[in-house]
Amino acid sequence: MTPEDEEFDRRIAAIHGLDGQPVDSEATSKDVNHDVRQSEFDAMIDAFLGVDYDQGKRRLVGAQQVALHEQQAKPSRQREQGEMSDEQYLDAANAAILDTFGECEKVLGSEDFRKLFDAPPHEATGLIDRAAFREAARGKAGGSFGPAAPRHSPVAGEVPISDADMGRAK
């Protein structure tokens, strides 16, 4: 594990209160702008690109992440309401991820994209592990669609993401 990986893991643990330190839930609940996904994304950029990384690029890539979550919301609702099959949802989600990765690479440049996600966009696609998704959808995974904070993922959230396909290969 690289020092960058260790720093990222430490930051993610702290964000989720898994570092043994008390979480100030009162302060967090009062902060209407607090967004766990944003905190995870900031930790990822800090660890892999540096705390002084270009603020303009951070904002642009952050906006892409927000847009991705918004894009995924409609198909997710459609799937939950039975208007979309699991396969249709997986295809839509993976297409949105691929498009977002392409846009992120344009902003970051190929070298920084690779540093951040440990792979070029075309290798970091297929993020949703179809078998894990199907298992979770059938309730065999305790009702969870995956980890709350997928490691090194630009799309932390409600979909199971295989460790090898999270954007940072091991």
The closest alpha carbon to 97, from 71, 74, 73, belongs to: 71
**Per-residue confidence (pLDDT) for residue 127, from 0 to 100:** 61
Please indicate, yes or no, if residue 62 is contained in any of the structural domains. Answer: yes
**Per-residue confidence (pLDDT) for residue 92, from 0 to 100:** 87
Please indicate, yes or no, if residue 76 is contained in any of the structural domains. Answer: yes
Please indicate, yes or no, if residue 133 is contained in any of the structural domains. Answer: yes
**Per-residue confidence (pLDDT) for residue 66, from 0 to 100:** 85
Please indicate, yes or no, if residue 46 is contained in any of the structural domains. Answer: no
Strand partners, 161: 128
Please indicate, yes or no, if residue 42 is contained in any of the structural domains. Answer: no
Q: Which of 31-40, 100-109, 126-135, 158-167 has the lowest mean pLDDT?
A: 158-167
Q: What percent of the chain has pLDDT over 90?
A: 22
Number of domains in the chain: 1
pLDDT tens for 52-89 read: 999 999 999 989 988 888 888 888 889 889 999 888 88
Please indicate, yes or no, if residue 83 is contained in any of the structural domains. Answer: yes
Please indicate, yes or no, if residue 29 is contained in any of the structural domains. Answer: no
In degrees, to the nearest 5, what angle opens at C-alpha 69 toward C-alphas 64 and 74? 130
Please indicate, yes or no, if residue 142 is contained in any of the structural domains. Answer: yes
What is the domain extent for residue 161? 56-165
pTM of the predicted model as reported, rounded to 2 decimal places: 0.64
- 95-100 contacts, C-beta under 8 A, 24 or more apart: 96/68, 96/71, 96/72, 97/68, 97/125, 97/127, 97/128, 97/155, 98/122, 98/125, 100/64, 100/65, 100/67, 100/68, 100/71, 100/154, 100/155
Q: Is 38 exposed, middle or buried (0-12, 13-18, 19+ CB in 10 A)?
A: middle
Could you tell me if 116 and 48 are in contact, meaning their C-beta atoms sit under 8 angstroms apart? yes
| Rounded Cα distance, 56 and 133, in Å | 35
